[in-house]
Amino acid sequence: MLILVTCLFLFITALALVILRVTQPDARYAWLVASGGAALAFVSVFIWLVQMPFQLTLPAWKPESLFSTPILFSADGISWAFAIGIAALTLSILLTAVTRPVFANSLSWAGILTLGGMGILAVTANNPLTLLLMWAFLDITELLSQLISVNGEKNSERAVISFATRMLGIGLLLWAYIESLANGSMVVFQSMPSDTGIFLVLAAGLRLGVLPLHLPYAADSSLRRGFGTALRLIGAVSSLSVLGHIQIASTGFTPILMILASVAAIYGGWMWLRAPDELNGRPYWMIGIAALAVLSALSGNPIAAAAWGCAIILVGGALFLSSIPDVRLSRALLVGSWSLSSLPFSLTGGAWAGNLSFTAVFALATQALMMAGFVRHALRTSGTESLEDQPSWAKAAYPAGILLLLVTQIILGFIGWDGARQTGNLILALLASVLTLGLVWGTRRFRIFNPVRAHWVTTTGAGVNSLYQWLWSLYRGLARLAQSITEALEGEGGIMWTLLFLILFISIIVQGIQ
């Protein structure tokens, strides 16, 4: 029931904002309503700790012979960490919205609150059917947002290609569900056969752009901070949450997946380090960290996969929402580098507990690249927004939003979930830290570590998407061929074609009789 209470705080607040927008479009207290609802939801997630673990089962669909699996949500040591991350991000976005040029946009805030509620439902979903419904809602929301915001046929095609890839991920989730039903298992993630785990990894990879590599957003997309941050990070966490609940059996296909994930990890880390700014580099942040989560899941360490998933939303969220150059806040952001370090009692303290085997070198290098890139972006000195002309309450709300995510990272290192108080492998954690320091030193002295021009990310990303563009061109070519055949059969010559096929059919039959 507590899961429903948290989500109702968010959904009811979103509905209230919509009603206020219609009835009182100039209401000055809309931001207070939005922030108050998000704050109540954030606090309510901590109350889960009193009753965990617990479940929320919705009434079964009719007929039960056809819908044997109920809609089931569960709060445990993994889903709680994801839920508190989503609730913290939602509140943080609203607190930092005071600096945005489109501050008084209650419809955008309603969308953020709705995404937060759906994200919490997604990370607490405890069977494939429930997760499938949550994924579908988030995917449709992302597709509509992209189609509305982008300009040009090419960018619209990219949005549709991304949506199709995500639908393929949903198809793999459905396949894992069918395999579990065929084996007679009770279909919850904890009891699913280990051989179906590989389908869940593929599903998460396709939805994240990790397996295979792709960039679902154009670098010039208008979805930037605020709603865009919520949409991208909550969508990523909803995909990664499934990796924290499953044990994956090693198969002959597992080494191939680990190699692909390693390539994606190195590529994402390198691009993130060299990105001109944090928003242009955000797709690579998601690719690099998500690839580390996939590697952890494939190596039999679901706790580490969950930790990297929390890092995406908490560490990345604090950086992407930080839009004002402030020396003190920039230094405070370095808490995120500690959270990524896998040092004892950090958010990712158990990252090296699994058996990464031959991919350990790639994972270590990626971790160092992601940390070095984070330090470089956190210590930037440029920005387009300012608090100088803001009232005193706004000057307090903005840093509170950033500090909220930083404090949540520290809290998750010690309490609340299965990955708290982890010591991990101190030697590898120290080695990653040393590599990070070397990369940070090198970025200030070697040109290869720095971007050449601002549109560098866009041109490089176009090469990554060449495979998808080729497949899309092939699809359109086949569609044109099918259309030509249809027009030929339905046009004036359709009767002649019918007679020709009939004669050929009769000739084949006659030859068979003889």
State the alpha helices, DSSP H only, in 97-240: 106-124, 128-149, 153-182, 197-208, 227-240
This prediction has a pTM of: 0.85
Burial 260-277 (b: 16+ CB within 10 A, else e): bbbbbbbbbbbbbbbbbe
Distance CA 112, CA 150 (A): 19
| Residue ranges covered by each domain of the chain | 2-384+396-464, 477-513
- The per-residue pLDDT for 510 is 64
Residue 283 CA: distances (Å) to CA of 70, 83, 215, 229: 35, 22, 7, 11
pLDDT string in tens for the chain (514-residue length): 789 999 999 999 999 998 988 888 777 788 889 999 999 999 999 999 998 888 888 877 766 666 667 888 999 989 999 999 999 999 999 998 887 655 556 778 888 999 999 999 999 998 888 898 899 888 888 788 777 766 666 667 767 777 777 888 888 888 888 887 777 666 678 777 777 788 888 888 888 755 555 444 444 444 567 788 888 899 889 988 888 888 777 777 788 888 888 998 999 999 899 888 888 888 899 999 999 999 888 888 889 999 999 999 999 999 999 888 778 888 999 999 999 999 999 999 888 876 667 788 899 999 999 999 999 999 876 666 667 777 787 788 889 999 999 999 999 999 988 888 888 888 889 999 999 999 988 887 777 777 645 444 444 455 555 555 665 566 567 667 666 666 665 555 556 666 666 677 677 666 655 5
Task: Kindly report the number of other CB atoms within 10 A of residue 481's CB atom.
Answer: 10
- The per-residue pLDDT for 214 is 47
